[in-house]
A and B are shown apart, each in its own frame.
Chain A
Amino acid sequence: MELYSPEGLRIDGRRWNELRKFECRINTHPNSSDGSSFIEQGNTKVICMVQGPMEPVLRSQSNPNQANIEISITIANFSTTERKKRLKNEKRLVELKATLERTFEQSVMCKLYPRTVIQVNIHVLAQDGGLLAGITNAITLGLIDAGIAMYDYVSSISAGLYDTTPLLDLNTLEENDMSTLTIGVIGKSEKLALLLLEDKMPLDRLESVLAIGIAGGHRIRDLMDEEVRRHGNLRLSKVNV
């Protein structure tokens, strides 16, 4: 298979700057959590459930100045084509967790909730590339659903470089074969809350990859915003009745 054919088509039929199917729902688990969401980015599927802000179980966990964000990630054994057992403290997962915690500590107005903890539980049901991006988007929606104050949306997307062509929103096959950049864009700005580069990318090409990433992030933001507004209107209509 050609990852990017001379005719300008990718392995799944998209062009260089096209997103995969992106679908999201919020308030999916209203009974078991304070905020919840479900996103599908291509075949990557993630559920997010948020508890809090709440008092931490242990005193030692509380910070007098701001809220602590704790993220736990569970990856289902059936999420990839080959089933395999994953350990909770697999190195990649630990890194992923740290990256996400750092990102959201800066994007949530943590100062408003001193001495509390915000518990985020992630369940990855299916993986097909863009895992970090998918989780980030799910957390953003989950936090919004939980009514936790944030500075703005953090919308995340991956992008890669094939030869000299930047490609947006990579699936697994593409991710395996090129160096991948994942960014989290803040709202409609060009500021980034997250930037993770796996493998190397030449500096002189980075700009073009960042550019399509940011454009892609803005489109994701709009799609998430649409869902938040749809759900908001739904709730509002119930209140009015």
Chain B
Amino acid sequence: MIAKKQKLSSGLTVTSKVFVRSRNGGATKIVREHYLRNDIPCYSKLCHKCHTILKPDSKGELPRFILSESPTRLEKEGSIHYVVVDTNIILHCIDLLENVDCFYDVIIPQTVLEEVKNRSFPIYQRIRSLVKSDEKRFVVFHNEFSESTFIARAKNESSNDYNDRSIRQVAKWYAEHLQESNEDIKVLFITNDKDNLQKAKTEGIVDAYNLTDYIEELPNADVLRDLIPQTSNNESFSSSDANETSYPEYYSNSRVLGGLKNGTLYQGILNISSYNFLEGTVQVGAFKKPLLILGTKNLNRGFNGDAVIVELLPKDKWREPSTTIIEEEVIGADDNADDDGDEEIEFINDKERRLLAQEAIKETTAATSSTDGAHSRLQPTAKVVGVSRRSWRYYVGQIAPTSVSKDHDTGNSAKSCFVILMDKVLPKIRIRTRKAKELLGQRIVVAVDSWPSTSKYPQGHFVRCLGEIESAEAETEALLLEHDVEYRPFSKNVLDCLPKEGDSWVVPQDFETTTKRKDLRDKLVCSIDPPGCVDIDDALHAGILPNGNYEVGVHIADVTHFVKPNTALDSEGASRGTSVYLVDKRIDMLPMLLGTNLCSLKPYVERFAFSVIWELDEDANIVNVQYMKSVIKSREAFSYEKAQNRIDDPKQQDELTQSMRVLLKLSKKLKQKRLDAGALNLASPEVKVHMDSETSDPGEVEIKKLLETNSLVEEFMLFANISVARKIYDSYPQTAMLRRHAPPPATNFEVLNNMLAVRKPSMPTISLESSKSLADSLDRCNDPKDPYFNTLLRIMSTRCMMAAEYFPSGSYGYPEFRHYGLAVDIYTHFTSPIRRYCDVVAHRQLAGAIGYEMLDLSHRDKSKMELIVKNINKRHRNAQFAGRASIEYYVGQVMRNNESEQEGYVIKCFNNGIVVLVPKFGVEGLIKLELLGDVNSAEYDEDKFELKFKDFNNKERVIGVFDKVKVDVKSIKDEVTGKRKAQLILK
């Protein structure tokens, strides 16, 4: 296919790219123009020539030269060098490319970048951010547009071969081009493809290396050797592979596309049960119930969170979801990583087979006694036949001690061993390392490289070590990594966006003439926060107007005065999305300087604020509302307790206290209205860990207590959020940043209602009709003998609810904006811009809506807003999980020192164990049948949600859901995962 070339008067050469696209069974020939140019520079500071050919962009800026004048020297050769990498190096060794110890001055051909983008978008983004940051001096060279490197595709050449040839052409051109300016420079071509290496050598590219050989050329090869990913290493696991029976191969791409189109295959996200790692579900639009995927063979190498393609199994294989708990650590924890020998030849081992048999028996008995009840629980089953997107990321875990051979020490050669991940729904990962022994007992980070069908476990490589297991630092870092929280310090780029004055920044005295801000310094503003709060993002004031109505103001730190759109500071905040609160640590969304000083509405100093001021009547109805950017001066910063005391103290009659009483009075009315409308009061076992400040050891655990003043602040924050939501929706009907909470699907409450009907027949069922009826029915579910029962039910109901989510207003119709939990028609987050990015966007949109300043494009564009909300929804979720995990860890540390007997409630029942929640610590734990009593005589009654067994004293016991039980709580360290968890023993 030799396309004709034509020189244009503008100096460009035009040719065409012709390719055939097959879609819907037909083939379409597509012709696109392709322009070649001679003004693409090499970006090397060594080059003498390219400076004359530069062309400016639309802002008049010229391209910058990135590649260093004095790059790293090769150890043996002694010459300085740049490298050109191929696609597979990037896809498999991205960690190494990001490593600070190697890979500086890297040239990425456009051909490679495009292949990477097609194969893995996340890796493409990582490469792009490497290029952007400059730190490692990566450049993208648009070889396909450059006259000197563009090559035409040869007749009958496959696209792979053509791309490989294009990449080699880049290496060749760079070497020749730079020779002319500096004779000492070498341009290395790195690929792991033997064929490609061979061709490079015959084409006269002398400096072609595979990754392993290249690393050996570097002065710090010792440090780097272990980090080389496994797939790049040909001989890695071949010895053991032969012994393993294989997984079914994935379907070909075309078969998958065809299947999806004709409805025989489905696509969805695989969700592995947290109680049973051999059971997954995939929610598919076509079915009401999720598809069940049972057993390793059907799961077929799918990871929790992967986007998978599934195929239904015949109807006779449809099942009920398992009522058995299976954890990987139980099965095959003692596998030897190198020797998958005799007992492993059969694919499912005996234990798995037994469990399957057990399931099968239950299935058949259910079929013979075929009542309708049993059948309605049947769920369609499916098998995984392809993975369209892997959820692979960094994982934290520890080396399984049993997988490290102890018998002989053969020095420095790499050995296979297993890494057991903290996330127990994931399989263990096989890595090769020379340092297995040193790494025993350490928390380590690994990356997954591949999972060939011939290997029982996925293969990965060691990334780095976090520290000793159970040390606070290692565990904290581990949980941040596990929840994908960015915790590195802010980069210089970001910090450069802060005001130059730093901590000594003050409100400029001429603000009245230079800005449109309102002067509200005479208002009696105060803030009420938890004790010791340093980042005060909200403050309040109230007063009585001459007409008898009330004036109430909510003042929020004006963060967007400092965080301007399209700055490094803004994009960092947008990507972090939220601050993350751990027990002993806070990961800020924005730099400290803003949070704790410039944007903190501290008392006695002037601060910029964004104010919402209402006129309210006696019944707290809105008469008028105004929004304005302002300058305020807070009179006092109270803690909840101090504010409460001051309000309660009749001797305090000063104006500030009076205004707080007004606020309290109005807040109670607002709250009542909300409750009348059906706002929910759901419970979660919120636990606070007291830190002993001397030793920074966690001292004791306490459930958080609430004061009236807590709800005072909360009510007005909700009130402000609602008012702002209306205003920005009014001005930006397509892109307003809002937050919605969908009503819970009825199926979520089915099981809970069944449990209630069977176990607590006296209780009314929970009604879902509206949030009001739900709230009412929860109120009625009271057990006079046990006040905690109501809370328990609320905790369990919370788990049946949908998660609230951010969205741009254009994505849903108005009726779906509803916030079910708060029972309001529209809602957003406006009141915490220091720690949530949603609020930052809402601030900018409100400023645009009131005509204070132009709203940035990115918040007026629906597709950009969708990207923003997608990220902040994810970050928000991760932050919550990370916070919970942190509490869990510290609770574990507390319990380590105090073993005690506690009251607990059974919240789930399986045929081989029960799950008990201990309110005192807010922990829940699984008690397996082996720890309850005699395994063989136990009987599980599924319809009654109860388990009958003989305990160790041979006493007959029946335990069911909602039962109050006494348990011994102690914390034990799991030797396999290295995770400390609460162990409960039934009394």
Contacts and interface: CB of A to CB of B under 8 A. Distances in A.
B33 A19 contact: no
B145 interface: yes
B413 interface: no
B34 A81 contact: no
Interface in A178-216: 202, 204-205, 208, 212
Contact of A43 (B31, B117, B132, B144): B31
Contacts of B492: none
Contact of B58 (A19, A128, A171, A208): A208
B586 to A, nearest CB: 33
Given A9-B145, A165-B58, A128 B28 contact: no
B57 A8 contact: yes
B136 to A, nearest CB: 16
Contacts of A208: 58
B35 A12 contact: yes
Nearest to B39: A15
A18 interface: yes
Contacts of B36: 13
Given A5-B140, A14-B12, A21 B857 contact: no
A5 to B, nearest CB: 7
Contacts of B145: 9, 13
Interface string A39-51: 0001100000000
Contacts of A205: 857
Contacts of B31: 43
Nearest to A202: B857
A205 B40 CA distance: 28
B718 to A, nearest CB: 33
A21 to B, nearest CB: 5
Contact of A81 (B30, B33, B57, B140): B30
Contacts of B8: 21
B131 A15 contact: no
Contact of B32 (A6, A12, A16, A204): A12
B478 to A, nearest CB: 34
A76 to B, nearest CB: 15
Contact of B33 (A6, A43, A212): A43
B518 interface: no
A165 B57 contact: yes
Contact of B142 (A9, A16, A163, A173): A9
Given A5-B142, A7-B63, A204 B58 contact: no
B61 to A, nearest CB: 9
Contacts of B57: 8, 15-16, 165
Given A13-B36, A208-B58, A19 B10 contact: yes
Interface range, A side = 20 to 34
A7 B140 CA distance: 8
A232 B58 CA distance: 38
A1 interface: yes
A82 interface: yes
Given A6-B128, A43-B33, A204-B854, A16 B58 contact: yes
A6 B132 contact: yes
Interface centre among A1, A15, A42, A166, by most B CB within 10 Å?
A: A15
Contacts of B128: 6
Q: Which of B30, B131, B142 has the most CB of A within 10 A?
A: B142
A173 B32 CA distance: 10
Contacts of A204: 854
A14 B35 contact: yes
B857 A1 contact: no
Given A6-B132, A17-B58, A202 B28 contact: no
Interface string B5-49: 010101010100000000000001111111111001000000000
A177 B70 CA distance: 42
Contacts of A2: 117
B113 to A, nearest CB: 8
A164 interface: yes
Contacts of B40: 7, 9
Contacts of A81: 28-30
B34 A202 contact: no
Contacts of A165: 57-58
A215 to B, nearest CB: 12
A34 B10 CA distance: 33
Contacts of A13: 12, 34-37, 142, 144-145
Nearest to B15: A13
A184 B23 CA distance: 37
B14 A21 contact: yes
A56 B8 CA distance: 43
A105 B63 CA distance: 46
B827 to A, nearest CB: 27
Given A9-B142, A202-B860, A82 B33 contact: no
Interface string B46-87: 000000000101100001000000000000000000000000
A16 B56 CA distance: 10
Interface in B70-126: 114, 117
Given A16-B57, A81-B30, A7 B142 contact: yes
Contacts of A18: 10, 12, 35
A105 B91 CA distance: 59
A12 B34 contact: yes
A81 B36 CA distance: 24
Interface in A105-134: 128
A15 B55 contact: yes
Given A16-B58, A21-B6, A202-B857, A42 B33 contact: yes
B60 to A, nearest CB: 11
Interface in B552-569: 566
B557 to A, nearest CB: 27
Interface string A43-77: 10000000000000000000000000000000000
Contacts of A212: 58
A205 B860 CA distance: 13
Nearest to A173: B32
A65 to B, nearest CB: 43
A202 B861 CA distance: 10
B656 to A, nearest CB: 44
A5 B854 CA distance: 27
Contacts of B114: 1
Nearest to B863: A177
A179 to B, nearest CB: 10
A12 B33 contact: yes
A97 interface: no
A83 B131 CA distance: 41
Contacts of B132: 6
A227 to B, nearest CB: 13
B33 A171 contact: yes
Nearest to B35: A13
A20 B33 CA distance: 9
B862 to A, nearest CB: 10
Nearest to B139: A7
A211 to B, nearest CB: 10
A20 B37 CA distance: 13
Contacts of B857: 163-164, 202, 205
Nearest to B566: A164
Contacts of A163: 857
Contacts of A82: 28
Given A13-B142, A43-B32, A128-B32, 15 more contacts: A2-B117, A6-B128, A7-B142, A8-B63, A9-B40, A13-B35, A13-B36, A13-B37, A15-B55, A16-B58, A21-B8, A163-B857, A205-B857, A208-B58, A212-B58
Interface of B: 6, 8, 10, 12, 14, 28-37, 40, 55, 57-58, 63, 114, 117, 128, 131-132, 140, 142, 144-145, 566, 854, 857, 860
21 contacts: A6-B128, A6-B132, A8-B55, A9-B142, A9-B145, A12-B32, A12-B33, A13-B142, A13-B145, A14-B35, A15-B37, A17-B58, A19-B10, A20-B33, A21-B6, A43-B31, A164-B58, A166-B58, A204-B854, A205-B857, A208-B58
The 3 closest A-B pairs by CB, nearest first: A13-B145, A13-B35, A8-B57
